[in-house]
Structure 1
């Protein structure tokens, strides 16, 4: 493989070898280059340099891709479930064969470290295999009627499913999120992030021969492309991973056709440290839970750290020291890098505005908060890992999702006040609780208003465990059998068995 064959840590010279050869618009089993299509230049966040030029889908391209998917959906639904599963497994194998090249492409395009992107490719392959193994669970039930009739249900695919995903894990989402709808017998149109579309385009190139024409389609574009998919009358379901405003926009666009929606949205997630917590493990958990590797660009990041007053000062100092020791910004395509770049100039500017807001509102800057001084990083979208202490629940950095490497630390003493602050936002995606007292842990988990909670752990996603949020952090569940069912509808059939 390309990366393995190169005995070096700096892989930037190999980027040209792994770039996709195609345009970015793929439907009906073919690549398209429509006359007059707008072009988008995508950049390397580590250097600010242009990587490639791709085509952007307009309304006509959305119509064409959806039409191709609709034409292919019925035939794909009729493919025996085990055959659908077999093709998903072939897709997983092909991803593993190309995992290192895909990791390099993603790190160059979204700014995440290449070492982490290798893990993303494996997760995507696993998700394809996981849902391939669930195809025989698409079964119905018999219902006792008491009147001599036979009543039963069956699950059917919805038809055309559109999936829109963000820039923080482009390939993992592109490959992993086609698994459930394809397993259920749907045709899929994916819209990769405009900031980092290249790995999704490459995925289409790799899988083009595994699925019938029209079953798998790709449209690069921005908000207009997403809105056109969400409002299209022939799209039966739309699934989004993104911000709360993006989720609300999708819901509005989907309302006229009453299409099914699956939304995994933002988070302002809390980690709670009780006085009896294992100190060293909790410190490591606080640093790991913030996902500094991805510059905090993770909806599940525990960006609000609530530390009991008996541990507070010592804990803040330990978290800062651990963070600075482990996470130093670097060029994403260097295998030694443990913290990459923000995905775009927009994300970079937004993060620094939040840092300024924290300073102006009286939080204490413990470390970070600026661009690194390393001259190699001068043109990239880098921000040092940033920690604020003495944060109050009313502050902007305490209430809004930053999606950047900014950790806010709160002091607490009264448990009632603690949960009022923890649950006082409209977010409710994940949470983390650290204590040696099992009874306290279960009671705290019951009080925490979030859909996915860790006790003495963080960040880990458990295969088969439903992932999703409370409140404005989303609708529906993923990464489990529930995600498979999201892309089906139930039909009830009643058979009168009269003599």
Structure 2
């Protein structure tokens, strides 16, 4: 991976014309390096010597050349993680928490650089990515603060002593998607580390740069081999990790299809603990007593249009009562009007790109198919007009969507909001529950009884009443049905990275031994 000054991997971060902004100049400095995997505390090329390009979805030019890891790299990372686990798990929970707090401080010092890299290779606005990094730092500190909650209980089952204790699994594989690169890379290792495990992190090949920089940060703080970062362009690395006999715990965030494939692959080797945070086709239900202005704002916020709807938690179905539907749609169109499509490195950017051209084409196909089925475009509908660079798709609102339309059932993972009108409460609940997913939901109404009645009826794991989009640290986040297994962002996540052991201390003879003692 020798680099020359003419290496096209460091092409312009903006279209031709004009000077570089401070963010663009700093991004160039960050990209001007030889990227390395982190294995056993060493920064390495892939053992095969192979590398693959990473492109900017704004310029569609190559910005980096990244090691293309494979089976050998995954195996080496697991071996190093297994070796590091022994000493790490022997530390007290408080000692582990102290080191995770030091890691949080180190990440915070590089927060600007991590956000820049996410904006460059992911295309989301830098202000949004800065919030992601801040939340990731908060997550590290939150789980460090929970370290002493890794406790057991005593049970008065007999005159003897019966207690439980929690012990770590060993090597944990964490496989993360492209949409929140730094947030997921950093936050997803917090609970496993505090619980006493070692980690092999596999970032998405589309957006690996901040995770690789995070690996460098870990190298300066943590014991060698405790966190390893291995990426490859394809399924070799994740498949090797999932099937490795020394990986006993797997955490995956991504698509439903990949999640099910991971379950199958893991089960072919051994019985493993697998948690999955998968897709969603989430519904926001708006009742006629709700304020159309608040519903519109909640729909726009919940749809995550800022990073082009590329979020599994997006409320991508707006189930709005016919009595307020026109007012709500009119206000949504006003909120989405006059959007400026600019470089994700601009501090004023409010609209992100699609991550790559294949996903871009897939989203446009969804919109075209929906219109062919009878949906009507109420806002957006395609690429922005004019000479706008980058893989942008306008925030799109589809009215007159029916519950049997493909766009009403499949996860688009793009800036497409499907509007379904209804008149009966039970009908709205049936539509909301009529998909195979069950991640998030939202209910807008001023009737407290109705709010709780409908919330309880929704087959989803995370629900807002008169709100949308926001996550709250300490509130368990996780899906039902095909949206996944397990919970994150709360104590439940920390405990899930430990195993419960029951211990029986025989202080007294029991059963026939007791009777024998009495008769002697």
TM-score range, shorter-chain basis? Answer: over 0.9
Larger radius of gyration: 2
Q: Count how many residue pairs are aligned between Structure 1 and Structure 2.
A: 489
Counterparts of 1:17-28 in structure 2, within 5 Å, are 17-19=29-31, 21-28=33-40
- 1: CA distance, partners of 2:379 / 2:319: 18
C-alpha contact (below 8 Å) 2:123/2:355 kept by paired residues: yes
- Map of 1:130 onto structure 2: 142
Equivalences for 1:271-350 in 2 at 5 Å? 271-325=284-338, 327-350=339-362
SS in 2 for 1:11: helix
> Equivalent of 2:88, from 76, 80, 102?
76
Native 8 Å contact 2:38 2:216 kept in 1: no
| Residue 15 (1) aligns with residue 15 (2) | no
Report the counterpart of residue 224 of structure 2 in structure 1: 213
More displaced, 206-215 or 455-464? 206-215
Equivalent residue number for residue 4 of structure 1: none
Alignment of 1:104 onto 2:116:
yes
Q: Does 1:161 align with 2:172?
A: yes
Contact 1:290 1:302 in 2 (8 A): yes
Partner of 2:512: none
2:449 counterpart residue number: 439
1:414 partnered with 2:424:
yes
Determine whether 1:223 maps to 2:264: no
1:425 equivalenced with 2:435 (yes/no): yes
RMSD: 1.4
Task: Give the aligned partner of residue 516 of structure 2.
Answer: none
Equivalent residues in 2 for 1:92-491 (5 A)? Answer: 92-146=104-158, 148-221=159-232, 222-255=234-267, 256-325=269-338, 327-377=339-389, 380-491=390-501
Q: Distance in 1 between matches of 2:193 and 2:381?
A: 43
Q: Is the contact made by 1:330 and 1:341 (CA closer than 8 Å) also made in structure 2?
A: no
Change (3 A) 1:313 1:181: same
Q: Does 1:496 find its partner at 2:509?
A: no
Say whether the 8 Å CA contact 2:27–2:120 is kept in structure 1: yes
- 1:61 pairs, out of 45, 48, 73, with 73
* In 2, Cα distance between equivalents of 1:263 and 1:19: 32
Checking the alignment, whether the CA contact within 8 Å between 2:100 and 2:194 is kept in structure 1 is yes
What is the rounded CA distance, in whole Å, between the counterparts of 1:234 and 1:382 in structure 2? 42
SS at 2:450 equivalent: helix
Deviation at 1:323, TM superposition (A): 1.8
Q: TM-score, normalised by structure 2?
A: 0.92
Q: Give, in angstroms, the shift of residue 34 of structure 1.
A: 4.1
Is the CA contact (8 Å cut-off) linking 1:103 and 1:114 kept in structure 2?
A: yes
Instruction: Judge conservation of contact 2:341–2:388 (CA < 8 Å) in 1.
Output: no
User: How big is the shift at 1:22?
Assistant: 4.7
Q: Which region of structure 1 is more displaced relative to structure 2, 367-376 or 116-125? A: 367-376
In structure 2, the residue corresponding to 1:109 is in which secondary structure? helix
